Amino acid sequence: MYQFNYIKAKSVEEASIALSNNPEAKILAGGMTLIPTMKQRLASPEQLIDIRQIEELKFIKLESNNIIVGSVSNHFEVYDSEIIKEHLPVLSRLAENIGDPHVRNMGTIGGSISNNDPTADYPAACLGLGAIIKTSKREIEAEEFFIGLFETSLEEDEIVTQVSFPIIKNSCYMKFPNPASRYAMAGVFVSKSDEEIRVAVTGAGENGVFRWKEMENALSNDWSVSSADSVRISPDGIMSDIHGNSDYRANLVNVMATRAVENLINEH
């Protein structure tokens, strides 16, 4: 690992100032991507600003019809939260299936979405539920937040502070995990509220997480398994790598989407 200097921020304000003072600095939350990346010398920040123990970022609360998760909440805390289990169990289950137990004890929701790995789970939940991401500067809708591969609309000196998920009971996340890494080979998040149906796909898109509009339209016209089954995603724009080519992944997306809809219809 290359040399760097380290500061532990006590507040969001302190972290923001440090970050704007040094364009070569990086925010360190759980470090479950950043540290392995630095070990491989694929990243060499000049400074790490550790925000993992900032108290004001560590909370999970219920506010009107939203679950609000502080950005340094780790995956185990999200899985284990009684509030989330009761009001938005889909999020608890999603967190329960990220990585492995040791990673879940360190990795954070803010880190995951800021990194925007195209195979990460949380981006699908954000887009699939229509979450609002609050930062040290502003509020950003999920659609505006996730831009592309490992790319978000965060500015250089902006830090995610919380994620607000609308409580949509009728929602399901189906993931086909890579058997080795548990990253999504394809993950489909479907939610059905009084206003709209959302279908978000992770693990598959060449530009990262995306909303699958054709499926949303088909399900809005006819909320049924056969309707879900009738829509096929084009392999164009679907990732192809050693774990699976785009045809295979596109098929996984179809299957995961149908299973999610099936699950929702059977449950209710």
Partner 1 sequence: MPLVEMEINGKKMSSNVEERQLLVHFLRDDLNLTGTHVGCDTSQCGACVIHIDGHAVKSCSMLAIQANNASITTIEGLANENQLHPVQEAFKENHGLQCGFCTPGMIMAAVDLIKRKPVLNEKIVREELEGNLCRCTGYQNIVKSILAAAEKVQA
Does 72 bind partner 1 (CB under 8 A)? Our answer is no
Does 32 bind partner 1 (CB under 8 A)? Our answer is yes
Per DSSP bridges, beta strands 25-28 and 47-50 are parallel
Beta bridge partners of 27: 49
End-to-end Cα distance, the chain? 52
* Burial grade of 100 (CB within 10 A; 0-12, 13-18, 19 or more): exposed
Per CB under 8 A, the list member of 12, 15, 27, 48 interacting with partner 1 is 48
Number of DSSP helices (H) and strands (E) in the chain, helices first = 12, 14
Q: How far is the CB of 48 from partner 1 (least distance, A)?
A: 8
Under a CB-based contact definition with an 8 Å cutoff, are residues 192 and 170 in contact?
yes
Does 75 bind partner 1 (CB under 8 A)? Our answer is no
Per CB under 8 A, the list member of 101, 156, 194, 234 interacting with partner 1 is 101
Does 4 bind partner 1 (CB under 8 A)? Our answer is yes
Per CB under 8 A, the list member of 20, 43, 50, 193 interacting with partner 1 is 50
| Site residues (CB under 8 A) for partner 1, limited to 105-124 | 105-106
Per CB under 8 A, the list member of 43, 62, 103, 265 interacting with partner 1 is 103
Q: How far is the CB of 102 from partner 1 (least distance, A)?
A: 5
Does 41 bind partner 1 (CB under 8 A)? Our answer is no
Does 241 bind partner 1 (CB under 8 A)? Our answer is no
Residue 132, both tokens = 């609002």
Helix, coil or strand: residue 136: coil
Q: How far is the CB of 83 from partner 1 (least distance, A)?
A: 19
Per CB under 8 A, the list member of 26, 31, 66, 117 interacting with partner 1 is 31
Q: Output the CA–CA distances (angstroms, integers) from residue 38 to 1, 46, 48, 49, 64, in the order listed.
A: 6, 11, 11, 14, 41
| Site residues (CB under 8 A) for partner 1, limited to 153-212 | 181-182
For residues 57, 59, 63, 65, the Cα torsion angle rounded to the nearest 10 degrees is 100
Which of 43, 73, 58, 68 minimizes the C-alpha distance to 10? 58
Q: Which residue, 95 or 250, has its beta carbon nearer to partner 1?
A: 95
Q: How far is the CB of 203 from partner 1 (least distance, A)?
A: 17
Per CB under 8 A, the list member of 9, 15, 25, 28 interacting with partner 1 is 28
Does 5 bind partner 1 (CB under 8 A)? Our answer is yes
The residue count for binding partner 1 (CB under 8 A) is: 28
Residue 204, both tokens = 């598959």
Q: Output the CA–CA distances (angstroms, integers) from residue 135 to 107, 113, 158, in the order listed.
A: 18, 12, 6
Residues of the shown chain interacting with partner 1 in the complex, contacts defined by CB under 8 A: 1-6, 8, 28, 31-32, 35-36, 38-40, 48, 50, 52, 76, 99-103, 105-106, 181-182
